[in-house]
Structure 1
């Protein structure tokens, strides 16, 4: 096959310059503050509603279909406002 489909939570795909992960959880669960300095980040909500803070001050409340892009040097933390699923694409920066 030329293509691969994956829909489970966890690591979806990994290549030499990217990692794609699908995460999910129940309302009220949190993603603790962290960053990905090696990558540019694309954060896409596919189910529910997620409140995201970048650097503890910049707030984004995302719903399905909305995509947040940011430099992984920034710190992200998130709270699932509703039962949610989201996909995180880490695109490694050139060295």
Structure 2
């Protein structure tokens, strides 16, 4: 019975990840009317980085994926994010 529950939960998690990727792609397309194929590459890069961190640091899968978010935000150059994304990273007083 535990094997069935594990397969069921694994399928639900995989389905939710695919749904989030599809939601992100549809939001980008609906706003810009451009199909952004690079988004799939970033998803693969994040997945491979999480797996390598998990194996290298001996972390639980949830901890290794949660540690990616601050790195992703920190490595986004301020000049690129502030000009490319409509200034959402600049404070309201400077807009």
TM-score, length-normalised on structure 2? Answer: 0.21
- Name the one with the larger helix percent: 2
Q: Which has the larger radius of gyration?
A: 2
Larger relative strand fraction: 1
TM-score, structure 1 normalization: 0.21
Using CA pairs under 8 Å that are at least 6 residues apart, name the structure with larger relative contact order, 1 or 2.
1
